Structure 1
Amino acid sequence: MKILCILYDDPKGGMPSNYPLNELPALEKYPDGMSLPTPKGRDFTPGELLGCVSGELGLRKYLEDSGHTLIVTSDKDGEGCVADMELVDADIVISQPFFPYYVTREKMESAPNLKMAITAGIGSDHVDLQAAMDHGVDVVEVTYCNSRSVAEHIVMQILVLVRDFTTQHNIVNDGGWHIADAVSRSYDVEGMHIGTIAAGRIGLDMLRKMKPFDVHLHYMDRHRLPESIEQELGLTFHETVESLVSVCDVINISCPLHPETEHMFNDELISKCKKGAYIINTARGKICDKDAIARACESGQLSGYAGDVWFPQPPPNDHVWRTMPNHGMTPHTSGTSLTAQARYADGVREILECFFAGDEIRNEYLIVQNGDLAGMGAHSYSKGTATGGSEEAAKFKK
């Protein structure tokens, strides 16, 4: 079979010859008891850079020894890109949320052999899920592989925004010592009201990590948490997003992107936020109306916005989030730490091993199977597509 793998570019200085740490912490299970990916083999050392083109997710030896063809590229956007040309006779396509290859209906229809789209990570909205259902293409992802990585990133971004760390860091880098400027937008997080929209694996982990900061915790989710967890963490449940945003100083977005959540944070919803609130978004950029967010940061309705996700990805160079005031944006790195890469590379290999052997793929990994939402997909997504507008990624200039 032919496997097409789209990964982000190598480091500008070339692949590392060594790494800061010699080994990763040994973990066996996730907090809910689910085991980490368990492939039968592994052709990399955990802690290596695997998510870029030269890293190849550690798959080449395994696939070629098994008689398959592996094509790896970072050329994924615009007419005539390598990914589009190679997709037409591919059996499997692998892409990452951090550097997504948008598998639209048109692209799917150009690839009659396509059987499966694998997300090396979590979040498969870069695949037209409705088209996948219509064309019998299964969609799978490595559920939970980087959830805790993202939760750590959320905590970091909360503190960066509320304490206004970026301003202070820039003052030092510029050779200054302007303390009044450094602290004029800096607050303590203690005592604030912190809320999350969606309290799944990432959102709930963030709440647990924030509890020691002595804050008030809130959540909204269409699947209410058990009462025991609400009591343990002192959570306040909100039935609507509007209710949550009206009382929270910090609003975290951890829900999946699908037609129901696309542009959920528009001018109307932002106007219902507590004046001066901070928004953290490590879910998907398209959940927010980019221009509405920028307007709110300009007006002061929002004190700041820290996102790790954009739409499309990479975003055009003139994307308004690059230059709006009081932002703490990162280039979708929350779930692709070297620690996380080892897990999602193992997970992709586990999925491939099961597929080639005709064995069942873990139910938790399933998003679309046999023409319908399945597994985690049935729990988290709705039918339809959120890939519209992704062609704008071709406007990114390196």
Structure 2
Amino acid sequence: MPKQRLSVVVTRRLPEAVETRLSELFDVKLRDDDTPMSREELVAAMKDADVLVPTLSDKIDRSLIAQAGDRLKLIANYGAGVDHIDVATARQRGVLVSNTPGVSADDTADMALALILGVTRRIPEGLQRMHSGTWDGWAPTALLGGRISGKRLGILGMGRIGTAVARRAQAFGMQIHYHNRRRLRPEIEEKHDATYWESLDQMLARMDVVSVNCPHTPSTFHLLNARRLKLMKPGAVIVNTSRGEVIDENAMVRMLKAGELAGAGLDVYEHGNEVNPDLREMPNVVMLPHISSATIEGRIEMGEKVIINIKTFDDGHRPPDLVVPAML
């Protein structure tokens, strides 16, 4: 008698290639429209499925997990970040959680460099003039930006993505500095000519550009709070392609308005898509709609990791990308 196929519920539209492969392997329920599930829909899915495939737009909290059915055994997250999932409660209920680490490091690092250049070279202002038809020719003092070669880049969180940012920034002639919970191995520091700062405060006070590349955890919430932001030089730029909650957004906005920071490049925001309206009015702020990992190749690779995690679980083994509370 053939083995019964796992019941899998996917909460958002995924690339067609990923959905096709999921349908071939599992009894999968796909999302018809590309909108987040309501809380009621998530509860229903978690009551009936063996596996839930959520994304960062789905808040899988303690209350939701408490309503899950006995069938649910795996939450195979489509994405690396799991701060939207109460991993500890899931494990207490016997539900495993997996993610898709390492897939988007290069894509996100590319966008971090794009934001650094966008802010320092005032690219959006130039685009606006061209698209609005207000450009009336070249001038020697028009839209003067700053050269990034020789500038100090402080990387907050030099893991996979932070290291990829360092590699790219080196090619632009930037000096690499970083702060981590744990210092990197000497050979990695040497490869990137990277200077380690045990004190985040001291690093922030000396950087020209700060790139936020650490995950959002309870220990990193508002890691860049008002006090720490005040340590930065008035001519410094801050770039965030990680999680908005790492920065006290209101404090950053106040400093940008007061000229206490030179600019910001942001792909993520503290309150999701509820963006502080003041940010939209500032010419020295480059804003993107959370697209750092948005490449066709990356999204398909994420889906392949999800499938491998589910298939390995279905075969009775530990998913290769299992998330445990101690990792957070």
TM-score (norm 2): 0.89
Shift of 1:84: 4.1
Q: How has the CA–CA distance of structure 1 residues 144 and 231 changed in structure 2, closer, same or farther, with 3 Å as cutoff? A: same
Partner residue in 1 for 2:67: 110
1:139 has 2:97 as partner = yes
Q: Over residues 2-38 of structure 1, what are the superposed CA-to-partner deviations in whole Å (9 max), with x where a residue is unaligned?
A: 322222xxxxxxxxxxxxxxxxxxxxxxxxxxxxxxx
CA 1:103–1:217: 2 relative to 1, 3 Å: same
Using the alignment, how far apart are the partners of 1:327 and 1:84 within structure 2? 39
Secondary structure of 2:237's partner? strand
Q: Which residue of 2 aligns with 1:366?
A: 322
- Superposition pairs for residues 222-371 of structure 1, below 5 Å? 222-313=181-272, 315-316=273-274, 320-362=278-320, 365-368=321-324
Q: Which residue of 2 aligns with 1:169?
A: 127
Q: Is the 8 A contact 2:266 2:286 kept in 1?
A: yes
* Alignment coverage as a number of residue pairs: 320
Give the aligned partner of residue 4 of structure 1: 9
The answer to whether residue 119 in structure 2 is matched with residue 157 in structure 1 is no
Bigger drift between 157-166 and 226-235 goes to: 226-235
Question: Contact (CA 8 Å) 2:208, 2:237: kept in 1 or not?
Answer: yes
- How far off its partner does 1:94 sit? 1.5
Q: Which amino acid aligns with 1:3?
A: V
1:106 Cα deviation after fit: 1.0
RMSD: 2.3
**CA shift in 2, pair 1:328/1:230, >3 Å:** same
Q: Identity of aligned pairs, percent?
A: 25
Cα distance in structure 1, aligned partners of 2:277 and 2:46: 28
**TM-superposed deviation, 1:74:** 3.9
Instruction: Find the residue that maps to 1:279 and give its secondary structure.
Output: strand
1:282: how far off?
0.8
Q: Any idea what the Cα deviations from partners look like across 1:257-290, whole Å, max 9, x if unmatched? A: 1101001112111101122211111110111112
Give the gaps of 5 or more residues in structure 1: 8-52, 382-398
Contact kept in structure 1, 2:78 and 2:302, CA below 8 Å: yes
How far apart, in 2, do the equivalents of 1:87 and 1:316 lie?
Answer: 27
Contact 1:305 1:328 in 2 (8 A): yes
Aligned residue number for residue 19 of structure 1 = none
1:324, distance to aligned residue in structure 2 (A): 4.5
User: Distance between the aligned counterparts of 1:203 and 1:65, measured in 2?
Assistant: 36
1:120 equivalenced with 2:125 (yes/no): no
Out of 167, 173, 183, the position equivalent to 1:208 is 167
Shift of 1:79: 5.7
Task: Report 1 or 2 for greater relative contact order, CA contacts < 8 Å, sequence distance ≥ 6.
Answer: 1
Q: CA 1:84/1:326 → structure 2, altered by over 3 Å: closer, same or farther?
A: farther
Deviation readout 1:223-267 (Å, 9 max, x if unpaired): 211212222322111002111111101001111111010011121
Distance 1:200 1:74 in 2: 31
In structure 2, relative to structure 1, the CA distance for the partners of 1:227 and 1:339 (3 Å cut) is same
How big is the shift at 1:133?
A: 3.3
Indicate the SS of the match to 1:268: helix
Q: 2: distance between equivalents of 1:148 and 1:67? A: 30
Structure 1: how far apart are the matches of 2:188 and 2:165?
A: 13
Q: Which runs of 5+ in 2 are unaligned?
A: 1-5
Q: Counterpart in 2 of 1:76?
A: 36
1:96 to 45, 55, 59: 55
> Residue 92 of structure 1 aligns to which amino acid in structure 2?
V
8 Å contact from structure 1 (residues 290, 321) kept in 2: no
Spell out, residue by residue over 1:143-192, the C-alpha distance to the aligned partner (whole angstroms, 9 max, x if none): 11111111111111111111111111111111122556984451111111
Q: 1:301 to 1:180 in 2, by over 3 A?
A: farther
Change (3 A) 1:57 1:107: farther
